[in-house]
Amino acid sequence: MTTTSSRIPGFYRLSLGERFEQVNQRVSLPEAARQHFANTGNLSVQTADSLVENVIGTFNLPLGIATNMVIDNEERLIPMVTEESSVIAAVCNAARQCRSSGGFVTSYSAPVMIAQVQLTQVPNPAFARLRILESIEQIRQICDATDPVLLKHGGGLQDIEVRQIDDMLVVHLLVDVRDAMGANAVNSMAEAVAPSLAEWSGGKAGLRILSNLADRRVARARAIWRIADIAVEGLSGEDVRDGMLSAYRFAALDPYRAATHNKGIMNGVSAIVLATGNDTRAVEAGAHAYAARHGSYSSLSHWECDADGNLCGSLELPMPVGLIGGATRLHPTARYSLDILGVSSAEQLARTIAAVGLAQNFAAMKALATTGIQKGHMALHAKNIAVMAGAEGEEIDAIASALVKGGKVRMDIAEQLLGELRATSERS
């Protein structure tokens, strides 16, 4: 199920309740969702206690909705969990500017994860490699027997690879994990098959664990931003495009810049991965390893100019996310996030996340290549500073606006403004 329109102008100016109503009108959430989102303690300590160890409480983070996204001709509202101001606004902003060209087009490889089995002390590794490759049917039987449920859903072992690394052999099990993230599924397979691999190779089984460089499970997104849609005050669309292409070149050539550029992409990616209860560390490890796959660390995204002079962005990255397993089914907010997204497969989720990453990258690069990041980011960060300075209730907006108006978003100034505001209200 997708939403009628993700374009909700001025969504951010609405109250929390009004925003919920706007989302609910579009995606029709279950009745319990209203109460759930109004209550900040929405993960019960009992559920928390079943998720991790030694629980004494829970930790809440803001969940916001990015508007304006069109992905593969479908309007989608995007739930994002982040503690960082301007991240959600940035996605709304980027998505709005590519609606006229149709939004984002996405694709996906397949839900194939890699499990590694390390074999050490193999006397004749080249010979043993072939012996293992010949045994694929036996390997398949062992792996598939460990997870009949996965097999029933159309998943299971797809193929194997055997790599010789120095004096070790490393066997890769390529497993279709369907709608799961798949770590537990493939780890169980690796552990089950390791004794046979050790026997056939004449070596010893070492580690048996998935690889987070999930390069058989990549999600891709591309979009065109038309020149006419990206101009800003004082700069033509061509100027903005050229500034962004120069920013991209910098990220493509310099790992110091690429790390920050990719962090911007992950601002969007991790926020939706977290909102859906998926494993942020697995996705982040995979993304950064993928960014370094050609030998030196570089930009995950690519930016070019098409024949009409428009700005074309594309992004490809590993996306091991699921709708089943981990916290995805256990965390109540994760379930509602999936309702809001309207995705029904891990593939759709992965493709959506790639589109959000590309949107995030566009917004950050555009800000950097034009006004600088601080103007937009600090304007939105002003509320945090106001709260840190001690502002409460209506004081928060008043202090935040005064900070933005004054052009200096600093704690000392916020404290001073708060003192003045309180003194004025005491006098009146």
Ligand X SMILES: CC(C)(COP(=O)([O-])OP(=O)([O-])OC[C@H]1O[C@@H](n2cnc3c(N)ncnc32)[C@H](O)[C@@H]1OP(=O)([O-])[O-])[C@@H](O)C(=O)NCCC(=O)NCCSC(=O)C[C@@](C)(O)CC(=O)[O-]
Cβ 175 vs Cβ 209: under 8 Å? no
Cβ 52 vs Cβ 74: under 8 Å? no
Q: Can residue 240 be called a binding residue for ligand X (CB under 6 A)?
A: no
Q: Can residue 302 be called a binding residue for ligand NDP (CB under 6 A)?
A: no
Q: Can residue 86 be called a binding residue for ligand X (CB under 6 A)?
A: yes
84 is annotated as an active-site residue: yes
- Which listed range, 92-100, 179-187, 199-207, 315-323, lies at the site for ligand X (CB under 6 A)? 92-100
The type of residue at 189 is: M
331 is annotated as an active-site residue: no
Q: Can residue 93 be called a binding residue for ligand X (CB under 6 A)?
A: yes
User: Judged by CB under 6 A, which of 92, 122, 183, 221 binds ligand X?
Assistant: 92
- Which listed range, 100-108, 183-191, 308-316, 407-415, lies at the site for ligand NDP (CB under 6 A)? 183-191
User: Judged by CB under 6 A, which of 326, 342, 357, 376 binds ligand NDP?
Assistant: 326
User: Judged by CB under 6 A, which of 94, 114, 179, 264 binds ligand NDP?
Assistant: 179
Site for ligand X in 260-279 (CB under 6 A): 260-261, 263-264, 267
User: Judged by CB under 6 A, which of 218, 282, 358, 363 binds ligand X?
Assistant: 363
CB atoms within 10 A of CB 397: 13
Q: How far apart are CA 8 and CA 11, in angstroms?
A: 5
Cβ 322 vs Cβ 182: under 8 Å? yes
- Which listed range, 155-163, 183-191, 289-297, 359-367, lies at the site for ligand X (CB under 6 A)? 359-367
Residue 52, H or E segment? none
204 is annotated as an active-site residue: no
Cβ 371 vs Cβ 232: under 8 Å? yes
Binding mask 126-155 for ligand NDP (x = CB under 6 A): ---------------------x-xx--x-x
Q: Can residue 291 be called a binding residue for ligand NDP (CB under 6 A)?
A: no
Q: How far apart are CA 368 and CA 377, in angstroms?
A: 11
159 is annotated as an active-site residue: no
Q: How far is the CB of 418 from ligand X (least distance, A)?
A: 22
Q: Among residues 237 and 326, whose Cβ is nearest to ligand NDP? A: 326
Q: Can residue 328 be called a binding residue for ligand X (CB under 6 A)?
A: no
Q: Can residue 270 be called a binding residue for ligand NDP (CB under 6 A)?
A: no
CB atoms within 10 A of CB 128: 20
Q: Among residues 103 and 325, whose Cβ is nearest to ligand NDP? A: 325
Q: Among residues 8 and 117, whose Cβ is nearest to ligand NDP? A: 117
Instruction: Give one word for 28, left, alpha or beta, with left for phi > 0 and alpha for psi -120 to 50.
Output: left
Q: Can residue 84 be called a binding residue for ligand X (CB under 6 A)?
A: yes
**Strands annotated E in 252-389:** 301-305, 311-318
DSSP letters for 29-48: --THHHHHHH-S--S-HHHH
User: Judged by CB under 6 A, which of 68, 86, 97, 212 binds ligand NDP?
Assistant: 212
Please state, in angstroms and as integers, the Cα–Cα distance from residue 333 to each residue in 81, 180, 375, following that order. Answer: 10, 18, 32
Q: How far apart are CA 299 and CA 318, in angstroms?
A: 14
Residue 142 contact, options ligand NDP, ligand X, none, Cβ 5-8 Å cut-off depending on partner type: none
Q: Can residue 237 be called a binding residue for ligand X (CB under 6 A)?
A: no
Q: Among residues 107 and 184, whose Cβ is nearest to ligand NDP? A: 184
Using DSSP's 3-state secondary structure scheme, residue 165 falls into: strand
Contacts of 42 (CB under 8 A, 6+ apart): 36, 60, 332, 333
Cβ 327 vs Cβ 36: under 8 Å? no
Closest of 203, 211, 210, 244 to residue 227, by C-alpha: 244
The type of residue at 401 is: S
Q: Can residue 259 be called a binding residue for ligand X (CB under 6 A)?
A: no
Q: Can residue 250 be called a binding residue for ligand X (CB under 6 A)?
A: no
Residue 149 contact, options ligand X, ligand NDP, none, Cβ 5-8 Å cut-off depending on partner type: ligand NDP
The type of residue at 4 is: T
CB atoms within 10 A of CB 14: 13
Residues that bind ligand NDP (CB under 6 A): 147, 149-150, 153, 155, 177-185, 187, 210, 212, 279, 282, 322, 324-326
Residues designated as active site: 84, 263, 279, 377
